[in-house]
Amino acid sequence: MVKVSPIRTMGALIGALLALAIASGWTQDHRNKPEGLSGEPQPKTEKALNLSDEEWGDLFMARKTYDAAIDRYSLAINSHKDPRPDKTEIASLYNKVGICYQQKMDYGRARKAYNSAIRLDKNLAQAWNNLGTTYYLDQRAKKSIKYYRRAIKLDPQVASFHLNVGTAYFARKKYQEASNEYRTAIQLDPEVMTRNSTGVGTAVETRHTDAKYYFYLAKIFASTGNTAEAVRYLEHAMEEGFKDRKRILDDPDLQKISNDPAFVVLMKHPPVAIKD
């Protein structure tokens, strides 16, 4: 199963906006008072918060009221349509609109928004990455890879971009390429597998039941010195039916942790494979 998570460099801003909303009583008013079609607050409360349309969009996105967020981002986009608009800012807004549609699983409209962002700012790496994610979620992993690659070329230091392309390679059973990308992602951000977030974009999060996938993850974590995660994923591989004990013991990456007590215990007492 695959799900998608919005990337959260907006976290600090959104956290501040939520705190402001709570302090002003908006969250309580918003629950108790009638709302507009998009679920927006009453004008009186809105005026009290004194937020820009983009900030309202960010707040609504954080609350997962995506239609309201889209409405606000659209207002912000329209407000920039003067004789000399800031194309970079508008591109960022279209990127956020795309994320909202993607969260609604409307991948067609999400792609349209991301393409609008890219037309305005071809160097917006997050939009290229997000465009790739829409194809991955549409079961088109092969096509997603070229967009992820473009994002990485523009900004190779974003761990989630490498994680995404690695996930696409795993889907295509290109285990070595996938391992290389996952290893790079973990080196850039050791917590990327759990946090999945580093920019205004999207990251794919997978739930595999593939023994070989878990085996390669064990190798990756062993090679990066994370013994606990390596043993955990190796145990998952065994539970999913990975039985090649010789391959485990002979693997150069896993040999690095072969003296660890947890690894020794696992090899002496492997789990019983989970049957379908």
Do 150 and 218 belong to one domain?
A: no
User: What per-residue confidence (pLDDT) applies to 81?
Assistant: 72
Task: Single out the residue of 139, 126, 127 nearest to residue 167, CA to CA.
Answer: 139
User: What per-residue confidence (pLDDT) applies to 175?
Assistant: 93
- Give me the domain span that covers residue 256: 209-276
Summarised one tens digit per residue, pLDDT across range 218-264 is 999 999 999 999 999 999 999 999 999 999 999 999 999 999 999 99
Do 217 and 190 belong to one domain?
A: no
Pairing of strands 2-6, 202-206: antiparallel
Answer with the one of 176, 207, 238 that is the final residue of a domain: 207
**Interatomic CA distance for residues 150 and 146, integer angstroms:** 6
Do 190 and 215 belong to one domain?
A: no
Cβ(155)–Cβ(164) below 8 Å: no
pLDDT of 215 > 90? The answer is yes
Name the percent of the chain lying above pLDDT 70. Answer: 76
**Interatomic CA distance for residues 75 and 56, integer angstroms:** 10
Do 259 and 182 belong to one domain?
A: no
Do 169 and 262 belong to one domain?
A: no
pLDDT of 33 > 50? The answer is no
**Interatomic CA distance for residues 120 and 173, integer angstroms:** 35
Do 195 and 115 belong to one domain?
A: yes
User: What per-residue confidence (pLDDT) applies to 25?
Assistant: 47
Do 119 and 224 belong to one domain?
A: no
Question: What average pLDDT does range 165-186 have in this prediction?
Answer: 95
Q: Domain total for the chain?
A: 2
Do 133 and 247 belong to one domain?
A: no
Answer with the one of 207, 232, 249 that is the final residue of a domain: 207
pLDDT of 173 > 70? The answer is yes
Answer with the one of 159, 179, 207 that is the final residue of a domain: 207
**Interatomic CA distance for residues 104 and 138, integer angstroms:** 13
Tokens 């969009």, residue?
57
Two tokens at 272?
């019983």
DSSP strand E in the chain: where?
2-6, 202-206
Question: What average pLDDT does range 89-114 have in this prediction?
Answer: 97
Do 109 and 189 belong to one domain?
A: yes
Do 169 and 265 belong to one domain?
A: no
User: What per-residue confidence (pLDDT) applies to 205?
Assistant: 62
Do 194 and 248 belong to one domain?
A: no
Two tokens at 195?
């946090």
Do 53 and 138 belong to one domain?
A: yes
Q: Compute φ and ψ for 28, nearest 5 degrees.
A: -70, -45
Mean pLDDT for the chain overall: 84
Q: What CATH number did the domain enclosing 127 receive?
A: 1.25.40.10
